[in-house]
Structure formats: structure tokens, C-alpha cells
Amino acid sequence: MVRKTLLVVLIISLLAVFACKKEEPPAPPMELVSFTADTLDLVLMADYVYSDEEIFAEGSGAIRLTTEMPMSVDIYAVDYPEVENRLLVYKAKIRSQELVGDASLAMKVTLTTGTAFDARQEPSTAVGGTTDWTECEASLLIPAGSEVKSVVLGFSVDGFGTAWIDDLRVISAPPPGSVVEDE
């Protein structure tokens, strides 16, 4: 009798799980915010970078970083992006010239609980030497039940030389492996 009841409970639970999954397919990727980087307006560490109005990937300017030592610069902050149970993706275009070492994206994510994470671009995709504009990204999975307080979009140069960044975007994407609803 107990076994039969357990079986019924198990079947109902499974049905409930399937029902929930069917009801809420994750939304497709959506852009939350974008920055043209045409000027140094809103740039957090503006003293460490230059505005370049001749070399840019988008709009009428880009941000240039020339350094003689490894350096990481905070570019923009985004407060309270809606990315709960989503993949938080930071995308931007990077270019380099005679850069010894490489340039990459890094983002600092702070949850409302105070917990902070550093998400970095996959090192094998970092841009070095003299390279034309390249689309780069760094991402972090934000678990269900977590609220992001702030995201700081950073630009990191591990080495010395000149690198540019332009067309920065923050995207909320479905968690990896999920089936996306039709657009």
C-alpha cells in the first residue's frame, strides 16, 4: 500500500516537473544596454584612457588604452541588470597595435548579497600583437534566486602597448543547454 502511494506521488511529481518545464521556456537572448564609447562620458576610470576619434569600430570614436605595464581599467557600470537565472554576457570589440601580451574583457559582478565574481574572457581568444577589430566576450551564469546589484565592464591589458575597445554591450542570454522559446 505504502509502495503504491509512493509510486503515485512519484508519477505526480514527474508530471509536475514536465508541466513546469513546458510552461516556462527561457526567453531568447536580449540586449540590456549598450555603450558607443564615442566619448569618455560615463567612463569610470577616465584618467587612464583616451578618446580616439580616428580609430573606432562603431559610431564616431573608441576608447584607447596605452600602457607600459599590465593594467585593468573599469570602463562602465550597469546597475541592477535583470539577469536572474540567465547567462550574463559582456560583449565588445577590441583592437590592438604592437601590443606585447594581450588585451581582453573582464567584468566584476556583485550580487545584492554582497558576493562578488570576476568573469574573464577565455584567454585563448584574447587579442594581441597588431590585430584588427575583434568581437570578444566574457560571461557568467547568474543562478535562480540571485539578484545582480552591479556589473562593472572592464578592459584588461596583460602586457604593454596600445589597445582599443568599442561597442560595449550587456546581454541576458538563456542558461547554456536550455531550449529557447520561439521568437
Which chain residues interact with Ca ion by CB under 5 A?
36-38, 56, 58-59, 166
CB 49 to Ca ion: min, Å: 13
Measured at CB, which residue is nearest to Ca ion?
59
* 122 grid coordinates: 577565455
Residue whose CB is less far from Ca ion, 102 or 166:
166
CA distances from 77 to 22, 121, 151 (A): 35, 18, 6
CB 75 to Ca ion: min, Å: 12
CB 168 to Ca ion: min, Å: 9
Residue whose CB is less far from Ca ion, 41 or 79:
41
Q: How far, in Å, CA of 153 to CA of 35, rounded?
A: 11
CB 74 to Ca ion: min, Å: 18
Q: How far, in Å, CA of 72 to CA of 157, rounded?
A: 6
Residue whose CB is less far from Ca ion, 61 or 161:
61
CA distances from 146 to 25, 82, 138, 172, 177 (A): 19, 10, 19, 14, 19
Residue whose CB is less far from Ca ion, 86 or 91:
91
- Reference 54, options 166, 155, 156, 169; nearest CA is 166
